[in-house]
A and B are shown apart, each in its own frame.
Chain A
């Protein structure tokens, strides 16, 4: 089946640093990838939609300069949390849509981000 790999699975860093999270589709090409954030006991909230080769589309209230998204290839999208602060601590999950198919989104296993 379609596999989406997310790396790292968890990261702890100091306030003010930038953190990059990678999302890879391992066995299929993904024209579209999505980035979600999930706080404890809450549902997934869509942050942005990333299309290969074009700028990401951000949801209302999500700062595009703080959450930089790059989708440079059909198998890789990255999310960089710039100048991270404790309130950015959350569970970040990506998903990928297979190109030219009616398949549902395939999700990565998430990245637990803790900012001290």
Chain B
């Protein structure tokens, strides 16, 4: 069966450091992968989309890599701030149709002063 796995344990890092979150998937070859941020009691907010032919994508302090051989995406937040504390979700369109997303379980990030 298809699986999307993210670190289930919370990630605690110090302010200013780079946070790296992992998303691994199996039994699927997605055309693209998305990363979302979710705060408690709120809906997910779209951050970045990376396509299968892109190795890396950047947006301000965020960087996403996509290795289709390893079936893995890494999500980096550089110069992390306490305001970056949230749960980060990766999502794939496992049907290939373009729009139906399956989400990973998310990784909770806490940035400490």
User: Chain A interface (Cβ within 8 Å of chain B)?
Assistant: 4, 6, 32, 34, 42-46, 49, 91, 93, 95, 97, 104-110, 112
Contacts and interface: CB of A to CB of B under 8 A. Distances in A.
B77 interface: no
B103 interface: yes
B45 A107 contact: yes
Interface of B: 34, 36, 41-46, 49, 89, 99-106
B34 A104 contact: yes
Given A104-B49, A105-B46, A107-B43, A43 B101 contact: no
A104 to B, nearest CB: 5
SS class, residues of chain A in contact with chain B: strand
A108 B102 CA distance: 17
Contacts of B34: 104
Contacts of B46: 104-107
A88 B97 CA distance: 29
A108 B17 CA distance: 31
A112 B102 CA distance: 21
